[in-house]
Amino acid sequence: MLEHLRQRLIQTLADVHAITLSTYGEAGLQSTRVPCEALDIVLYALVPRTSDHLFNLETETDVTVVNNTWSLNGSAQVTPACEHPAGLDLLRLPEAAWSTVIKICPSRLTILRSDSGSPVETIDVD
């Protein structure tokens, strides 16, 4: 990935604190608003331990994540506590006590136009 595109991706994700996570699989299509945090180009999200998202991620790691200004396609995996990045502020939220951290690695980010919601820029991640 070109460095200026990487920086654009980091800048776009930097201020996000909540996303709508969509997964599909044996539990069907699931979409839920969850808290998140971006570190570099990776998103970390808190998913309740009883969520069907976790069941879906066991067999299908492709996810779609949206907020008001962008949409992201990527792959997600459950992250064990021993692999949580140091200083992950997400773990300080009350929801962390009953949630699992998932790591979302982007493959494509589409930045949307705020007035119409139509795509204005797409960044493909290697």
| Dihedral class, residue 27 (left if φ above 0, else alpha if ψ from -120 to 50, else beta) | alpha
Mean pLDDT of the chain: 94
Summarised one tens digit per residue, pLDDT across range 31-87 is 999 999 999 999 999 999 999 999 999 999 999 999 989 999 999 999 999 999 999
**Cα 91 from Cα 112, distance rounded (Å):** 29
Domain that holds residue 94: 3-124
How many domains does the chain contain in total? 1
CATH assignment at residue 7: 2.30.110.10
